[in-house]
Amino acid sequence: HQQEAFVHALRRVELHVHIEGAMTPELLFKIAKRNGFEMEHDLFDWTTHPDGSETAMYKEYTDLNQFLNVYTKATEVLQTRQDFSDLAHEYMCNAHSHGVMHAEIFVDVQTYVDRGLQADDVVHGLEQGFRKGQQEFGISYLMLGCALRHLSADQCVAGMEILRPYHEKGLIHGMGLCSMEKGQPPSKFLPAFQRAREIGFERFTAHAGEDGPAAYVSEALDVLGVTRIDHGINGIKDEEVFERLSRQGTMVTLCPLSNIALNVIDHLGELPIRKMLDNDLKFSINSDDPALFNSWITDNFIAIHKEHALSKADWIKISHDSIHGSWAAQERKEEMQ
Ligand code: ADE
Ligand code: ZN
């Protein structure tokens, strides 16, 4: 129907996507094969087609922590600069087919360094793949580092030192707080955020209120000083935190189908989209881990559209807020507008 065609045709900005979560089964198999890894059959459900060919889809997840185990397992095939370049380039091709003009992409550099890879291979490999996609499709991109909260507070500080040279070279633009949330309050990672500020980072975000409480959203704002909240859904469901996010103009990066896939919500109707629009709580709609959830940014847009029956004016506001809540340079924002 007409309105849905309009939503399909929108140009998008993606402010919340993890590069590891964008690795399709096909790319994983290709990289596994060239690196001499066994195929991780147990991560996938297989469909046999009439012609005898088989396709794989990542299996369903039970919750965030179980998902993170699969996500980490999938990354084990990544070894060389070429692998990271292919991964970034594959995302850019898929992003292009979903109308993405600008993407801000989390990269878990420390995971690879802890496994013995060279940070240069990870970051320069990704940069090469993203740059190629930018040249081909005109998609702008910013890489965001993250403190990984399955690690200790001290390890996260060391993680910031890994990022230092790449921030200085302008390759890693901002900083987030990712991975398991329950029992890992944002304040525990203040030393990492302080170190990131010393290094010169100025753009901060945090996953908060995904499967953790509303109080973690407040803590990320008060203690870590972030200006963006990833997911934030338990905060949005809390009257006081909602009011604050709305008043401060904090960008909240929603990932609706991720929340369904990880059983963080039971139903998309739980996301108070109408109330957010009416109270000018600024949000964007994103994929989080599109290949691992088998749902890309367009799927998220369409799912929200169907559930909440949004108007053209609503979508224009969401697009406008997403562009202006991005960390793209001012000239780029104007171009995208
Ligand atoms: N890393 C990748 N996906 C994530 C998610 N949904 N929450 C926290 N950390 C993540
Ligand atoms: Zn995320």
Q: What is the pLDDT of residues 54-113, one digit of tens each?
A: 899 999 999 999 999 999 999 999 999 999 999 999 999 999 999 999 999 999 999 999
Q: Which of 20, 90, 210, 219 is catalytic?
A: 210
Mean pLDDT of all residues belonging to the chain = 97
Query: What is the percent of the chain with per-residue pLDDT over 70, rounded to a whole number?
Result: 100
Contact between residue 201 and residue 171 where contact means Cβ atoms under 8 Å apart: no
Cα separation values, 3 from 44, 296, 311, Å: 35, 19, 8
> What ipTM was predicted for this assembly?
0.98
Q: Band the pLDDT of 149: cuts 50, 70, 90.
A: very high
pLDDT of 41 > 80? The answer is no
Distance 49 CA to ligand 2 centre (A): 33
Contact between residue 57 and residue 44 where contact means Cβ atoms under 8 Å apart: yes
Task: Give the number of the atom of ligand 1 that is nearest the alpha carbon of residue 210.
Answer: 7
Distance 18 CA to ligand 2 centre (A): 6
Distance 178 CA to ligand 1 centre (A): 6
76 is catalytic: no
Task: Give the number of the atom of ligand 1 that is nearest the alpha carbon of residue 179.
Answer: 9
Distance 68 CA to ligand 1 centre (A): 7
Task: Give the number of the atom of ligand 1 that is nearest the alpha carbon of residue 71.
Answer: 2
Strand ranges inside 116-255, DSSP E? 140-148, 172-178, 205-208, 228-231, 251-254
**Which residue puts its alpha carbon closest to atom 6 of ligand 1?**
288
Site to substitute for ligand 1 among 73, 111, 289, 293, most atoms within 8 A of C-beta: 289
Cα separation values, 333 from 189, 252, 284, 323, 324, Å: 31, 18, 15, 6, 7
pLDDT of 303 > 80? The answer is yes
pLDDT of 329 > 80? The answer is yes
pLDDT of 40 > 90? The answer is no
Residues facing 253 on adjacent strands:
230, 284
3-class secondary-structure state, position 59: coil
**Which residue puts its alpha carbon closest to atom 5 of ligand 1?**
179
DSSP at 183: T
Per-residue confidence (pLDDT) for residue 3, from 0 to 100: 86
Nearest-ligand number for the alpha carbon of 179: 1
Digit-coded pLDDT (tens) for 158-170: 999 999 999 999 9
3-class secondary-structure state, position 10: coil
pLDDT of 42 > 90? The answer is no
Task: Give the number of the atom of ligand 1 that is nearest the alpha carbon of residue 255.
Answer: 6
Q: Band the pLDDT of 1: cuts 50, 70, 90.
A: low
Per-residue confidence (pLDDT) for residue 38, from 0 to 100: 84
Per-residue confidence (pLDDT) for residue 39, from 0 to 100: 74
> Is the dihedral angle over the CA atoms 112, 116, 120, 124 positive or is it negative?
negative
Cβ within 8 Å of residue 83, ≥6 positions away: 31, 35, 77, 125
DSSP at 52: S
pLDDT of 140 > 70? The answer is yes
- Ligand 1 site residues (CB inside 6 A) read 18, 21, 64, 71, 178-179, 207, 210, 258, 288-289
**Which residue puts its alpha carbon closest to atom 9 of ligand 1?**
179
3-class secondary-structure state, position 58: strand
Question: How many Cα atoms are found within 13 Å in the side-chain-facing hemisphere of 32?
Answer: 16
Neighbours of 131 (CB within 10 A): 15
